[in-house]
Amino acid sequence: MHGLINRAIEMFVRDTYGRKAWVALAVRCDLGSTEFEAMLTYDDAITPALLRGLAREQDKPVETLLEDIGTYLVSHPSAERVRRLLRFSGDDFTEFLRSLDDLPARARLAVPDLILPRLELREHNLQNFSLKVCHGADIPPVFGHVLVGLLRAMADDYGALVLLDHKGGSGGTEVICVNLLESAFAKGRSFALGQVPR
Amino acid sequence: MIGQPSQLCALLDTLCPMHVMVDPTGHIRHAGPTLIKVLGGAPVRGRRFFEMFELLRPTMPCTMVALRAASGQRLHLRLRDGSRSEMKGVLMPLPDGPDGALVVNLSFGLSVVAAVSRYDLTNADFAATDLTVEMLYLVEAKSAAMDASRKLNLRLQGAKIAAEEQAFTDTLTGLHNRRALEPVLTRLIEAGEDFALMHLDLDHFKQVNDTLGHAAGDHVLEVVAAILREETRKGDTIIRAGGDEFVLIFAPLIKAGNLNDIAARLIRRLEQPIAFRDQICRISASLGSTLSHDYPDPAIERMMEDADCALYAAKEAGRGRHLAFTPDLRPRAPSDRAAARQRA
């Protein structure tokens, strides 16, 4: 698994539950280090083990934690860079949804060895969308839950009001229903193209 | 056919939001919305093109005739306002224009990253086909990735230095170990620096170890290391080459006479009794040295052998003393040397 993904989980645990909780989890999962390198690749078994360990320790379902991670990636100040990169995709939430097909290509453009599942958006009408996440049968259906958290936070970021529903998965795909109730519900957070953080 | 002038302007505003339409008189007739934003929002209609833009390339007189002749060429321009922003451009005469107006399309080129901040440009300020926003995304994404890589490199560099230090350090005394010998000497020889090489063997150390135990021996070695550090200069190198053998490298060079003084002082201090628990340990040292400037072409092996040779001569002569190498000390046959070693 790409180090960026493990590093994201690490930062989520550090920022949400504190350094102590992270170190305890790293020891329990026998990582051999308490810090992931974003630019290295790790054994695929590490990531699910981390998530299982975290679910046990926080007494929460893995799906809930995955959603929390997705939200964290957009809304937490230490992940500001991720939010900015996502905001480049469109000026409003609808544009953002329509750009999701490009998300894996965008990720690869930035980090060539970061492989994300293929995304297919279907537009039923201006309010109702469904997003298919295709990751292949051999990969557990987890990315969809991260995406639900991420979409919810992005809707907030754009000031849109949405209802999201993870419809479960089968045969290497997951489906998320997006119901856009109002695209300009709140003011949203500001975003300027040329305002590079730090 | 292009319809009404206003329709043409609307078309250009969408396709090239940074265009400017110039009358044959050189006055601006219309400008795209992004360009108006860049120019500060002030009305530009009726102002002279050459008053607002300086043409850097191609070099030509500031006339409409010359400008028209540059149709289709790559233009390099600069705003004459306080920003002095540089721009790229290309112009074409307006087709079917009864009056021969020009359309100049502009872009920021490589200064776009700075321009986007300066003018607070957004996605909507660029044509949908313009890759500027994608480029900005890439710039930001790549600098984030680069930062992560740089952090990793720094950490690896730190780990490498620590590993090297560990590899070159004797854990008991904190002095350098035998592995440090060759790099240090190679560096000095390559730099053409004069230096003194001194071998030091502790005398009676084996007795301390045998009668008082290894703990006493270790303690003695630590005391010896401290004395060696105190009696040498900061830039000198002290190496624990093996059990009770040490190598000292003095660079820059000390005069031969001074070297003898240092050796005498070392011996005097090493002969002072060392207390360990309720026991007293007594040792001494024999030293042999050689100077790099005595060799036309100093080589590590040869100098090590000669310093060794002087050391064994010092032991032969009764221990607790220092001898500088001279060619007559060199053993006549290898067997002599082996015999000398055995006696020591």
pLDDT for B1 equals 43
Q: In this model, does residue B271 exceed pLDDT 90?
A: yes
Residues in chain B closer than 8 A to A88 (CB atoms):
133-134, 136-137, 140
Residues in chain A closer than 8 A to B120 (CB atoms):
192, 194
Neighbours of B290 (CB within 10 A): 27
- Pairing mode of beta strands B284-291, B322-324: parallel
Active site residue B194: no
pLDDT for B341 equals 57
Mean pLDDT of chain A: 91
pLDDT for B4 equals 67
Candidates A111, A106, A105, A86; CA nearest to A96 is A86
pLDDT band at A42 (very low <50, low <70, confident <90, very high): very high
CATH superfamily of domain region B5-130 = Haem NO binding associated domain (3.30.450.260)
Helices (H), chain B: 5-15, 33-38, 49-52, 64-69, 112-118, 132-167, 181-190, 205-212, 214-231, 256-270, 300-316, 334-343
The mean pLDDT value for B161-178 works out to: 89
- A-B Cβ pairs (cutoff 8 Å, strict): 60
Supply B278's token pair: 């309720």
A88 to B116: CB separation less than 8 angstroms, yes or no:
no
| Tens digit of each residue's pLDDT (9 = 90 or more) over A186-198 | 888 888 887 665 4
| Tens digit of each residue's pLDDT (9 = 90 or more) over B36-55 | 999 988 889 999 999 999 99
- In A39-193, DSSP assigns E strands to 118-123, 128-134, 161-170, 173-182
Q: How far is CA B207 from CA A133, B12, B310, B315, in A?
A: 78, 99, 23, 16
SS3 label, residue A102: helix
pLDDT for B337 equals 55
Q: In this model, does residue A21 exceed pLDDT 50?
A: yes
Has domain B176-343 been given CATH number 3.30.70.270? yes
Q: In this model, does residue B336 exceed pLDDT 70?
A: no
Q: Looking up tokens 């490199």, which residue turns up? A: B153
Task: Tell me how far apart the alpha carbons of residues B52 and B233 are, in angstroms, rounded to a whole number.
Answer: 69
Mutate to test the interface with A, among B113, B140, B146 (most CBs of A within 10 A): B140
- Point out the residue among A37, A84, A110 whose CB comes nearest to the CB of B145: A110
| Tens digit of each residue's pLDDT (9 = 90 or more) over A112-156 | 888 889 999 999 999 999 999 998 777 777 899 999 999 999 999
- Point out the residue among A40, A193, A195 whose CB comes nearest to the CB of B123: A193
Nearest CA in chain A to B150: A39
Residues in chain B closer than 8 A to A109 (CB atoms):
137-138, 141
Task: Tell me how far apart the alpha carbons of residues B294 and B287 are, in angstroms, rounded to a whole number.
Answer: 18
- Point out the residue among A38, A110, A194 whose CB comes nearest to the CB of B117: A194
| Tens digit of each residue's pLDDT (9 = 90 or more) over B208-260 | 999 999 999 999 999 999 999 999 998 899 999 989 999 999 988 777 778 89
SS3 label, residue B54: strand
Task: Tell me how far apart the alpha carbons of residues B306 and A188 are, in angstroms, rounded to a whole number.
Answer: 81
Supply B273's token pair: 């009794």
- pTM to 2 decimals? 0.67
Give me the catalytic one of B13, B130, B236, B244: B244
Q: Looking up tokens 């006696």, which residue turns up? A: B343
